[in-house]
Amino acid sequence: MLFEHLELRLTGGDMVQISGPNGSGKTSLLRLLAGLMQPTGGQVLLNGQPLHAQRAELARNLLWIGHAAGIKDLLTAEENLSWLCALHQPAQREAIWQALAAVGLRGFEDVPCHTLSAGQQRRVALARLYLDSPPLWILDEPFTALDKQGVAQLEEHLAGHCERGGMVVLTTHHSLSRMPSGYRDIDLGRWAA
């Protein structure tokens, strides 16, 4: 058991940073909230109903970006975003190009991702946050491999999403300098089993 007696409620405008030492269950908690794992005890609810009974509703309302970039190396940046968006909310080519420009990848739309740096690959994954995205973002270590400019831009974008009524749950070892009013930190070290 990683943690117990943990209660977490999210409403529009909330940003929750999950912190704690390595191995404390940060990624596991995110995977539970995203419906990728089932809890061994307790439950995860969406609008008051068990998460497992609301898969379609969860898919419409959730954007998950894991610790790995989650992109296909042989596809271009545009092809990756087109494919990822087609799973839930198809995006037009112009919107994809605008999202890539927003993360500093203008001119890289047609470049196979295996030729990009780790930071550029992370930016391809994060470009999904600049498309027509659902209200709940669950992000596992989103600042990995980003340079200072990319970190500052992402912090601003996450806070802006919350200020517009969205919700963000993230893990990071990065100290955030831009936090919306609905920010809170949950240290899993306090909830260890």
pLDDT over 90 percentage in the chain: 71
Cα–Cα distances in angstroms (integers) from residue 126 to residues 43, 92, 96, 142, 156, in the given order:
29, 17, 12, 8, 13
Query: Does residue 187 form part of some domain?
Result: no
pLDDT digits (tens, 9 = 90+) for 150-174: 999 999 999 999 999 999 999 998 8
Query: Does residue 164 form part of some domain?
Result: yes
Global model pTM greater than 0.85: yes
pLDDT digits (tens, 9 = 90+) for 38-69: 988 889 988 889 988 888 888 889 999 998 88
pLDDT surpassing 60 at residue 18: yes
pLDDT of residue 193: 57
Query: Does residue 141 form part of some domain?
Result: yes
Residue whose pair of structure tokens reads 């909230």 in the numeric block: 33
> Cα angle at 133 between 130 and 139, to 5 degrees?
80
Query: Does residue 134 form part of some domain?
Result: yes
pLDDT surpassing 70 at residue 8: yes
Query: Does residue 74 form part of some domain?
Result: yes
How far apart (Å, rounded) are the C-alpha atoms in residues 175 and 2?
A: 23
DSSP annotation of 113: G
pLDDT digits (tens, 9 = 90+) for 62-117: 999 998 889 999 999 999 999 988 877 889 999 999 999 999 999 999 999 999 99
Task: Answer for the pair 77, 108: CB distance below 8 angstroms, yes or no.
Answer: yes
pLDDT of residue 192: 66
Structural domain boundaries, residue 120:
61-170
How many domains, the chain?
A: 1
pLDDT surpassing 70 at residue 131: yes
Query: Does residue 119 form part of some domain?
Result: yes
The CATH number assigned to the domain holding 128 equals: 3.40.50.300
pLDDT surpassing 60 at residue 2: yes
How far apart (Å, rounded) are the C-alpha atoms in residues 32 and 178?
A: 26
Query: Does residue 151 form part of some domain?
Result: yes
Sign, Cα dihedral of 159, 166, 171, 88: negative
Query: Does residue 125 form part of some domain?
Result: yes
